[in-house]
Amino acid sequence: MPNNFYFFIGKKYNESEIENLLISVDKKITNIVESFIKGRIVKESNSLIRLQFSKVLHNVFKGRVPKLSRNISSTKDCVKCGLCLRNCPQGNITFENGHAVFHSKCILCLRCIHICPINVIRYKGKKIDQTQKNIIQVLDLNK
Ligand code: SF4
Ligand code: SF4
């Protein structure tokens, strides 16, 4: 998820870095699928330290999601198009008092921020660059 958490960790990838990341992921997925089709068992090699570090990081982040997600809000400029509401995987958004309101089931996927056509969803009141420009094309918006 290149750039999904740039607002949180402070590092924002540029276009070519994102391109390179996506190319390397694409190659990795192709290799995994080819191995699977050929019936080969492939084990990812990973250092124990890295694994433990990832587990700790995951647990810390998971524990903080409910608190962090309370920082998401929409401005009064929301036009109630319903895109965020229909596409939130958690059903976490409703309309109240004329704009989108976020509840407690958020998993911080940030789909709502990237899909809002007028970019009025804020994190800690700050405007976030929409970095997943193709998201509207890949989602079924008619459901
Ligand atoms: S961040 Fe994801 S889970 Fe949270 S409200 Fe937005 S779309 Fe829903
Ligand atoms: S996508 Fe944006 S404009 Fe549409 S309802 Fe959600 S916050 Fe409002």
Q: Which ligand is nearest to the CA of 115?
A: 2
Strand partners, 100: 95
Residue nearest to atom 7 of ligand 1 (CA): 88
CA distances from 4 to 15, 59, 79, 84, 90 (A): 13, 18, 24, 16, 17
Provide the sign of the torsion angle of the four alpha carbons 117, 123, 126, 131, taken in this order: negative
Domain assignments of the chain as residue spans, ordered by start: 68-138
How much is the pLDDT for 143?
47
Instruction: Please check the confidence at residue 93 and state whether its pLDDT lies above 50.
Output: yes
Radius of gyration of the chain (CA): 18
Phi, psi of 123 (to 5 degrees): -115, 120
Instruction: Quickly tell me which residue has 């080969």 as its tokens.
Output: 40
Architecture in CATH for domain 68-138: 2-Layer Sandwich (3.30)
CA of residue 116 to ligand 2 center, whole Å:
5
**Beta-sheet pairing, 93-96 with 99-102:** antiparallel
Structure tokens that stand for 116 in this block: 């809002």
DSSP 139: S
DSSP 58: H
- Do 84 and 106 meet the contact criterion of CB atoms below 8 Å apart? no
Q: What is the pTM of this model?
A: 0.74
Residue nearest to atom 4 of ligand 2 (CA): 81
100 lines ligand 1 (CB under 6 A): no
pLDDT per position as a tens digit, 16-41: 888 898 899 999 999 999 999 999 98
Mutate to test the pocket of ligand 2, among 73, 74, 135 (most ligand atoms within 8 A of CB): 74
The length of the chain, given as a count of residues: 143
pLDDT per position as a tens digit, 96-125: 988 999 999 999 888 899 899 999 999 999
pLDDT band at 77 (very low <50, low <70, confident <90, very high): very high
- Do 127 and 80 meet the contact criterion of CB atoms below 8 Å apart? no
Closest CA to 122 of 71, 67, 52: 71
